[in-house]
Every structure is written in structure tokens, then in C-alpha cells.
Amino acid sequence: MSKRIFSPEQVSEILKNANVARCSEKSITYHKDFKIESLRRYQQEGLSASRIFEEAGFNVALIGRETPMECVKRWRKTLKKKGVDSFSKEQRGGPGRRQGLKSLTDKEKLRYYEAQVAYLKAENAFLAKLRKQRLN
């Protein structure tokens, strides 16, 4: 992922493009149809990734010169590995992924940190016992 940060004005400009599903200050989520059409044009018509993005109305200087090729590479890999249907599902932050502490209430955070402290105390006690055994 690049280290670029979009300003609120840049985000609103990017969101005007019909091929964008979502955009935050750090990332752009493209529509499934755009991904599939981009791959088709790249593979069958031999167009460059930058040209495809420019023709789709993207300001390549704004989104990043390498972004089109990085996206096409990632989408080709996803297509090969998981098929066309994988583009219709959001892949990030799915089930089993760690939820951030930001979404927790203060009470839940307190419980989380108390459990963390208890775990670390038990781990330290175990390691101390192990060290003691090795020294004897």
C-alpha cells in the first residue's frame, strides 16, 4: 500500500468517478465491473493499465502513477486464485480478522486490557519457573 494521503478535496474528486465504490484518505475501492472490464481490456486489447485508468476518467497524477499497474497486477492475481466472483465480495476485514480497539466501548476496552495483563502475568510466571528449572 502506498503512503499517499488524499485530502478531503481529492477524495471528493475521486468519488465523482463512476468506477469508484468508496474512497478514504488512504485507499480507493473500485467497482467490480470496472475491475473485470479493466482486466479484459488489459489482456485482450493489450492496453496499458495507465491508459485504461485514464480512459475511465481517473487523474493518474492524483491517484499515483504506479497505482493502475499495481491494481491490475493485484486483480489478475485475485482472478487467477479465486475467480470472477471474488470481485463482488469485500475481501478486507472479513470474519476472523482482528477488530480494532476503536470500535469497543470503554468498559470493553477495560476488560480487554485486564485480560491482557492477566495473560502477561501468567506468561511471566511460566517463564520465571522455566528459568528457575534451567538454573537448577
Q: Is 93 inside any structural domain?
A: no
Is residue 15 located within the same domain as residue 70? yes
Q: Is 95 inside any structural domain?
A: no
Is residue 83 located within the same domain as residue 128? no
111: which residues sit within 8 A by CB, 6+ positions away?
none
Domain range spanning residue 129?
101-135
| Dist CA 50 CA 64 (whole Å) | 10
Domains: count for the chain: 2
Q: What is the pLDDT along the chain (136 residues), one digit of tens a residue?
A: 567 899 999 999 999 999 999 999 999 999 999 999 999 999 999 999 999 999 999 999 999 999 999 999 999 998 888 888 777 766 655 555 566 777 788 888 899 999 999 999 999 999 999 998 988 7
Q: Is 1 inside any structural domain?
A: no
Is residue 125 located within the same domain as residue 70? no
How would you classify residue 85: left for phi > 0, otherwise alpha for psi between -120 and 50, otherwise beta?
Answer: alpha
Q: Is 3 inside any structural domain?
A: no
Contact 73, 48 (CB under 8 A): no
